[in-house]
Amino acid sequence: MKRRRELSPEEKRLWNHVARSVSPMAPLKPVPPKVPDTPLPPPAPLDLRSIAPQPAPPPVSPLLGGDPRRERRVARGSLQIDAVLDLHGMRQDEADRATAAFIARAVTLKHRVLLVITGKGSKEGSEGRGVLRKRFLDGMEFGLYGSRIASVKPAHQKHGGRGAFYVFLKAPKVKR
């Protein structure tokens, strides 16, 4: 550590002059903490359910619900199928485009009952079984083919059984 230098006689005289003219400061008084005039009420219990975000309602899937009477009438043949789409032999992307166009055309023509034949898929192994069938159902469940679909149900055996589906479209909106 570096040694401090000594003050010169001139610096000592100046320091003594300044030190005589200064008086010591009064000690600071401690400041008492502020106490509220009225005591605070205890905090209310917190209900986390009231502040937690509410989950979004699940999307309404056309695979659920529907009109059982209408389904029986189609199966018996007393309610006519308006249009049929056969997806056999198509690749997945072709089947998606064909299904979207088919449903759009059916809505335009005010059809109400459609039959979509997907096939059951190959019997060899469980992998890849019914790719078009699964893709069709996924598209229906997630609304890829529009909001005009009321319900989707497996077809009766005479209309293709597990390899086909009835697609029931919503009634056209009436302008008033």
What predicted TM-score, i.e. pTM, was given to this entire model? 0.60
Q: Residues 123-171: pLDDT tens digits? A: 655 555 688 888 888 888 777 777 788 888 888 888 888 888 989 888 8
- Selection from 113, 117, 102 nearest residue 169 by Cα: 113
Residue predicted with more confidence, 140 or 59: 140
Structure-block tokens of residue 9: 């006689």
Q: Residue 4 above 90 pLDDT? A: no
pLDDT band at 41 (very low <50, low <70, confident <90, very high): confident
Return the number of other C-beta atoms located less than 10 Å from residue 42's C-beta.
Answer: 6
Domain boundaries, the chain: 68-169
Mean pLDDT of all residues belonging to the chain: 81
Q: Look at residue 95 and give its three-state secondary structure.
A: helix
pLDDT band at 172 (very low <50, low <70, confident <90, very high): confident
| 8 A C-beta contact, residue 87 and residue 132 | yes
| 8 A C-beta contact, residue 114 and residue 149 | no
Q: How far is the C-alpha of 167 from the C-alpha of 8, rounded, in Å?
A: 107
CATH class, 68-169 region: alpha beta
